[in-house]
Structure 1
Amino acid sequence: MIIRTPLAAALAVALAAVTACSTAPAERAGAATPQAGTTPPGPSGTPPGAPRTLVENLAVPWAIAFLPGGDALVTERDSARLLRITPEGRVTAIGKVEGVAPQGEGGLMGVAVSPKYDTDRTIFLYFTSDEDNRVVRYRLDSDRLSNEKVIVPGIPSGGIHDGGRIAFGPDGFLYIATGEVGDKPLAQDRNSLAGKILRVTPDGGPAPGNPFPGSRVWSYGHRNVQGLAWDPQGRLYASEFGQNTYDEINLIRKGGNYGWPEVEGVGSDKRYINPILTWPTSEASPSGMAYAAGSLWVAALRGQRLWQVPLTPDGTAGAPSARFRDEYGRLRAVTTTPDGGSLWVGTSNKDGRGSPRQGDDRVLVVPVR
């Protein structure tokens, strides 16, 4: 049984004295009853970027992935619920995903929809079990999950740095962001699945063209990647939590080594690829990331803002600008709508490190054009 229903580089700025990610396990937030937001769309003439609340009273929405018809699947990390949310804000609780064992920063995290969903009805989830972090494939019919198959088991799990973002690239393969779970040497160990970006087939095997024979590893030397996004040229970017000093955006190269734990931020060792952008950890703790309207949009947890990072034609980062600073608290999920005109952004104020306010957690709709 699957569910229980119902239901840099250019901008290395200043040092920060506090870590971007506490080692203390987060408190567990109880499931809440989601409600459609009561804030109407802005009137004609509302400036671009003015957000509206779509849904309220969620519990740590971790990831958002759109289905072909325009509805979105949303995961709740701590409750292990999978939700379906319409563009009008109607919420259906598909159910609590069996086998999820929330702990610390782990739980029900990434969700991805098959590029062939119209014919195969397949979705993918990344979650923490009692044994590991894993990627599991399901069939979704009439808001019921079936045909469970673990396609990537054995990703190390821990109280911190569990990664968790999954997304299909323009090449049709599934990319998986993992963390080094606080065991730093794992990031440099190509035999470990921790501290990596993995690239796999829909069955979970190493994708053709991967850089290391017989390996799922696409890039390594990562601390804790929680954001993946592609630009129109097919270039892959990843947002990554630093430790005490710098958070990062990296332009990901096949087989690239991004330096952790030997380097945090920009270094001079030619063996390691430098980020295209860094922030002080107090300004970011970057989680979800999406591409829209010529920019990367990055949800900041500790920084409590949405960063807009314009991209140049050669894939480097322009000067970033912060939106909604301290207006909505901690931001974790961000995904571009199918028409490319808006972002859905999820708050994370019930994750044990935020300060929940009335209506939290919520999904916001942010126009980008």
Structure 2
Amino acid sequence: MRRAAAAALLVLALGGCATFPEQGPREWREQLEGAGELGGPPVVPEPTPQPQPQQPPGQEGGDGPQQPPSGCEDPDPQVVATCLEPVGAIAVLPSASSALVGERQTGRVLRVEQGSEPELVATVPVDATGGGGLTGLVLSPSYIEDQLVYAYITTPEDNRVVRIAAGEPAKPVLTGIPRGPANNGGALAVDEDGSLLVATGNAGQNPPAQESLAGKLLRIDLQGRPAKGNPDPLSPTLSSGLQSPGGICVDPRRGAAWVTDRRAGEDALHLVVPGPLPPPAWRWPDRPGVAGCTALDGAVAVAQVRPQSLFVIRSDAKNLFVGAPEMLLQETYGRLSAATLAPDGLVWLGTINKAGGRPVSSDDRVIRIQPLAAGGDNRQ
């Protein structure tokens, strides 16, 4: 029942049931035996991390071993889709029972649902070198009416935002975002007023020119024009200072937006504000490879690649993080990448075990974390 217990902990964390004493911005450091709650020196991995062994779900303890995956068949009830290529992005459909999944290296966009074979929706030509490919995916704010999807992709010429309609070639929305030898990945989200938030990598430029679209948090309308309310009405730039963003998440209850960033010397989580990015709201000196994130009622959950876990922290009404973090799903599904919040409040995650991890036969996978209140004992 270990994953069920982790899922129950997740819904408590994201549902706001716990209270903590107020504290300022915090850093996560690996806990050492005999050290305090967050004590001990940080452990910074080598720039090129070595693959870590992964146990199949259900083999990590708890109430005893479960049957491991066999081919593409995965007995874990929280696994929605299997045998994918590394997952770059997920957008959950309004029904909340299915989602669109973008494969980073192939550019395929697939509709997945538990109990059904993945269905190809579109293939977007991408160049996955330098950390690029298909790394962002979000539904149109009026998806029920227009059935449109927006993606952040890397091409041989640039990074760009494109619009996808089933059965049609992808159409450019915003082009000319610089690409380079590294940090080509980006992320997408929709803010409160229906504008697109676009996090762009610095393309290996440190720092990029102020007028460049690299290393920025952009805010545009659905046609790619600067959104109303930007600091400069003629510019799509809302904020600047990103290096290698992993995800953007908007808290639907508070309206706050957060962006993860893999920086030189540390990973960071920033609160999105107009102008230059403020100092990180949370820092990871050990550089775990922060990826996608979700936010709900002040709780932020960040997918991590190297600790192979979901990192959950809570903020107060002033968006300052308080209390101790929680590490969920540790080494349960391997290297986590994409993360998104479904309309029903469940968290969907994607893995990238085929890209440097130790994949099991059913990788790469899409997982839907089903809290006990919604999914019974999660072992139907």
Q: Structure 2 CA distance, aligned partners of 1:227 and 1:199?
A: 15
The residue that corresponds to 1:290 in the other structure is 294
2:314 — aligned with what?
310
Q: Conserved in 2, the CA contact under 8 Å of 1:21 and 1:243?
A: no
Q: 1:201/1:37 Cα in 2 relative to 1: closer, same or farther (>3 Å)?
A: farther
Give the CA deviation at 1:40.
Answer: 5.4
How far apart are the structure 2 equivalents of 1:58 and 1:36?
A: 9
**Structure 2: how far apart are the matches of 1:303 and 1:218?**
32
Structure 1 pair 84–192 and aligned structure 2 pair: CA distance change class (3 A):
same
Q: What residue is the counterpart of 2:140 in the other structure?
A: 114
The answer as to whether partners of 2:79 and 2:114 remain within 8 angstroms in 1 is no
Residues 238, 224 of structure 1: CA spacing in aligned structure 2 closer, same or farther, 3 A cutoff? same
- State the 1:89 CA deviation: 4.8
In the TM superposition, 1:77-226 aligns within 5 A as 77-97=104-124, 99-140=125-166, 144-146=167-169, 148-186=170-208, 189-226=209-246
Residue 358, structure 1, aligned to residue 350, structure 2: no
TM-score by length of 2: 0.77
SS of the equivalent of 1:119 reads helix
Task: Give the secondary-structure state (helix, strand or coil) at the position aligned to 1:233.
Answer: coil
Aligned-residue sequence identity (percent) comes to: 34
Say if 1:87 and 1:291 are closer, same or farther in 2 by CA, change over 3 A. Answer: farther
> Where does structure 2 lack aligned partners over 5 or more consecutive residues?
1-23, 30-40, 50-70, 374-380
The alpha carbon displacement at 1:68 in A equals: 2.2
Amino acid at match of 1:11: E
Residues 157/16 of structure 1: CA separation in 2 closer, same or farther (3 Å cut):
farther
Name the structure 2 match of 1:32: none
CA deviation after TM superposition for structure 1 residue 159, in Å:
3.5
Counterpart in the other structure of 1:39: 75
Distance in 2 between residues matched to 1:59 and 1:149, nearest whole Å:
24
Q: Answer yes or no: is the 8 Å Cα contact 2:81–2:113 preserved in 1.
A: no
Aligned to 1:263: none
Aligned residues: 314
**Alignment partners' CA distance in 2, 1:358 and 1:226:** 26
Root mean square deviation of aligned Cα? 2.1
For residue 53 of structure 1, what is the aligned residue in structure 2?
Answer: 79
**1:329 lines up with 2:334 in the alignment:** yes
Relative to 1, partners in 2 of residues 1:323 and 1:101: Cα closer, same or farther, differing over 3 Å?
A: same
Structure 1 counterpart of 2:258: 237
- Indicate how the Cα distance of structure 1 residues 365 and 356 shifts in structure 2: closer, same or farther if over 3 A, else same: same
In structure 2, relative to structure 1, the CA distance for the partners of 1:163 and 1:21 (3 Å cut) is: farther
- CA change 1:109–1:12 in 2 (3 A) is closer
Describe the shift of the 1:54–1:121 C-alpha distance in structure 2 as closer, same or farther (beyond 3 A): closer
Q: SS of the residue aligned with 1:313? A: coil
**CA offset at residue 92 of structure 1?**
0.5
Aligned letter for 2:270?
A: N
| Alpha-carbon displacement from aligned partner over 1:277-307 (angstroms, at most 9, x marks no partner) | 111234x211100124641111101222111
Query: 1:37: how far off?
Result: 5.2
Contact 1:180 1:194 in 2 (8 A): yes
Match of 2:10 in 1: none
Q: Please report the TM-score for the alignment, with normalisation by the length of structure 1.
A: 0.79
Between the aligned partners of 1:230 and 1:37, the Cα distance in structure 2 is 34
Report how far residue 135 of structure 1 moved: 0.6
Q: Deviations over 1:44-67 (max 9, x none)?
A: xxxxxxxx2221111111100022
Which structure 1 residue ranges, 4+ long, deviate > 6 Å from structure 2?
A: none
Partner SS for 2:144? helix
